[in-house]
Amino acid sequence: MRINKILNNSAVVVKDIDGEKIVMGEGIGFQKRKNDLVNQAKIDKVFVIKDSNEHKKFEEILQLLPEEHIKIAEEIITYAEKELDVIINEHIHVAFCDHLSFAIERLTNGISIKNALLDQIKILYVKEFQIGLWAKALIKENLGVEIPEDEVGNIAMHIHTARMNAGDMQETIDITTTIQEITRIIESCLNINIVEDTMSYERLITHLRFSFKSLLSNGTNHDYDQKMASMIKENFKEAFSCAKEVGQFVEGKYRVKYPDAELLYISMHIQRFYNRAVMRKQQM
């Protein structure tokens, strides 16, 4: 196999007789160039992602996110497949790597988010939650970051969703349509154009989808840290104002109200997306 593209020191894209693949391994891309032969002894994982969109997004993740975050995320996925004795849906490589890196980034900055479904997750997804606890220990050992049980629950949900690959079609259509409308609201109130094939967009809609499904199923309120709330409202004023508009839209359409904590979390996603949009404009 010859290297077609170097993504980072530990990941390269190769072209093989049966198509393009992403190959990972410690130092596999270090000091390499296009068309160099891959050192077979260094290969740990080979990804054949059939969905071209997902393949592109995974390449982007491997280039943007810290290598140690990706390595840990992939270790967790491999462990989950072994423990559950299943091949997990290939979409998890994009969604989970991105989620885990964002969570580690948040926790490193002292921002912890409550998981309103934690008690239910512990009961309904016992095996997935145990995998989450294993992941908690792995992250602590490798990065020195202590993740709370709320985040263990999020890991369990990601694994369960990818494992089952389930969902009602009409519900999916309804939620997708609502997220599209929310996207337009964000564009309007921040006066930006959302680029839909970016990781910022993927991150935003992934969270909106999970949060919206949770809202419709239980509508319960969340606990949140007042200091964190004050920080977000003060430092992310435009994003928080935009999140409130999103909340008003959802309440008007579905007669359900987003909890304050959820609006704060949506604000962080919007701010992150907004920052990248501003950077793109400055580079033009």
Q: Which tokens is 213 given?
A: 């499904």
Angle subtended by helix axes 149-164 and 92-108, to nearest 10:
170
Q: Which residue has the higher pLDDT, 140 or 262?
A: 140
Task: Indicate whether 144 pLDDT > 80.
Answer: yes
65 phi and psi angles, rounded to 5 deg: -85, 155
Share of the chain above pLDDT 70, in %: 88
Over residues 250-259, the pLDDT tens digits come to: 899 888 888 8
Q: 278 Cβ partners below 8 Å, 6+ apart?
A: none
User: In whole angstroms, how far apart are CA 190 and each of 98, 179, 199, 231?
Assistant: 24, 16, 18, 20
Strand order in the sheet with 45-47: 2-8, 11-16, 19-24, 45-47
Task: Indicate whether 52 pLDDT > 60.
Answer: yes
Q: Which DSSP letter does residue 153 get?
A: H
Q: Which tokens is 263 given?
A: 């609006």
Over residues 92-133, the pLDDT tens digits come to: 888 899 999 999 999 998 888 888 778 777 877 889 999 999
Q: What domains can be seen in the chain, in order of their start residue?
A: 1-48 (2.30.24.10), 51-164 (1.10.1790.10), 169-283 (1.10.1790.10)
Task: Indicate whether 57 pLDDT > 90.
Answer: no
Q: Are 35 and 3 in contact (CB under 8 A)?
A: yes
Task: Indicate whether 165 pLDDT > 60.
Answer: no
Each as own residue / partner, the long-range contacts of residues 230-235 (CB below 8 Å, 24 or more positions apart, any chain) are 232/264, 232/267, 232/268, 233/264
User: Tell me, what's the pLDDT at 168?
Assistant: 42
Q: Which residues of 83-114 are buried (b: 16+ CB within 10 A; e: fewer)?
A: eeeeebebbbbbbbbbbbbbbbebbeeebbbb
User: Tell me, what's the pLDDT at 195?
Assistant: 67
Amino acid of residue 120: Q
Over residues 189-248, the pLDDT tens digits come to: 888 777 665 677 777 777 777 777 777 776 555 566 788 888 888 889 999 999 999 999
Q: Which of these, 51, 26, 76, 41, lies nearest to 12 by C-alpha position?
A: 26
The chain-wide mean pLDDT, for the chain, equals 82
Q: What is the pTM of this model?
A: 0.62
Residue 16 and residue 29: Cα distance in Å, rounded? 17
